[in-house]
Amino acid sequence: MAQEHSESFRLVIQHIHDQANGNRYYNMVAYREGRSLKASGIPLDRLLSRLGQALPGFDSGKMLMDGAETFVVFTGRFELTNHQLATLGLEENW
């Protein structure tokens, strides 16, 4: 079975909003040489689920989880396939 082609992306996760009931929301963007793919307004539980499915072994403990209003909670470089990008829910950001 042939391995799916992957490309190197810088993955950035940004905390964007806390609701009064404690729910946290995030944006996730993958950047590669003039190309960006984005998923917006992802609840924390869904974000962690997507990361776990797409990037086995992803250490969510590396994400900073304080209550700042807007800030980057994680950035890292990954080799991602189209399947992983789809699992993360990332779409072309025009």
| pLDDT at 46 (0 to 100) | 94
pTM flag (> 0.85): no
The letter for the amino acid at 28 is M
| pLDDT at 94 (0 to 100) | 57
How confident is the model over 34-83, as pLDDT tens digits? 889 999 999 989 999 999 999 988 888 777 665 555 578 888 999 999 99
pLDDT bracket for residue 1 (50, 70, 90): low
Structure tokens at 86: 């789809």
In 3D space, the residue among 49, 47, 77, 74 whose CA is nearest the CA of residue 63 turns out to be: 74
CA–CA separation, 6 and 14 (whole Å): 24
The letter for the amino acid at 23 is N
Biggest CA–CA distance in the chain, Å, is 49
In 3D space, the residue among 49, 3, 48, 51 whose CA is nearest the CA of residue 30 turns out to be: 51
| pLDDT at 65 (0 to 100) | 62
